[in-house]
Amino acid sequence: MPHVDASSAPALTSDLAAGGDRPVLTYCSDVTGERIDFTAHALGSWVARTANMLRDGYGCEAGDHAAVLLPSHWQTASVLLGAWSLGMTLSIRPWATAGLPIQDGELDWPLQTLFVSTRRLGSWLEDIPDARHRFALDLEPDAGLGRRVPADYLDYLAEALKHPDVAPEQQPAWQAELATADGTSFQEWMDLATDLARSMELRAGDRLLVDADRNEQPVKWLLAPLAVGASIVLCAGLGEGGLQQRAAREGATHVM
């Protein structure tokens, strides 16, 4: 996969699609036994479906605000990259799996779109802000389409599959626009990812093993490796000592 230029953060779909059969993301869980491997092209297809869903299905465009209340997961990668490829501004909650309540004022700005895990809908239901479009993601490996998605939410997987897996027409680079609601621009976000990759000495062809339960900030587990052409092994449910054992099995060159 080609390196992602810092100015092209909202257009990652094309970069992924150009990567062909190169492995780019593996998601696995030592709790459920789930494992799924994505080539750059396969992940790019999901990113493209997400972007097309948001743009053509629900009228989203650059500058629209979305909240992403999701744990580290392959579907989260598709959501983030798909929304960013349209130039959307995201509010990302890296504590999504911790069960912490949403505080007053945290998500008060107008929301176009909301993505939330069904794992947390029960505990957050009264706190979840209103949004024009609300997508629920059932992240269990045996979920199936719509099995545990509440009636007043859209099923992300089912909706995304209705749309083509070809990247939307290339958008101009939105370097100065906000990637995240904390005021970080796309240029700053990708510069940070690139600097982080360099600090970890990540290079093209490296394989980064990530403890999904301890690393929920996507600039670490997603953007930093993609920025330099490294692949990602995102693993949930690692027990004591499981990180190094998994790293050996996966042939990881770096761990996080």
CA 38 vs CA 30, 67, 233: distances in Å: 18, 25, 10
Would you place residue 233 in the very low, low, confident or very high pLDDT band (cuts 50, 70, 90)? Answer: very high
Q: Is residue 55 part of a domain?
A: yes
- Residue numbers of the domain that contains 171: 6-255
Per-residue pLDDT, 18: 61
Tokens representing residue 12 in the block: 């990652």
Per-residue pLDDT, 125: 54
Q: Is residue 216 part of a domain?
A: yes
pLDDT in tens, 46-94: 999 999 999 999 999 888 999 998 989 999 999 999 999 888 999 887 5
Q: Is residue 164 part of a domain?
A: yes
Assign residue 161 the CATH number of its domain. Answer: 3.40.50.12780
Tokens representing residue 240 in the block: 């004591």
Return d(Cα 17, Cα 26) in angstroms, integer: 17
Tally of structural domains, the chain? 1
Q: Is 225's pLDDT higher than 90?
A: yes
Q: Is residue 213 part of a domain?
A: yes
Q: Is residue 34 part of a domain?
A: yes
pTM of this structure: 0.88
Q: Is residue 94 part of a domain?
A: yes
Q: Is residue 29 part of a domain?
A: yes
Q: Is residue 1 part of a domain?
A: no
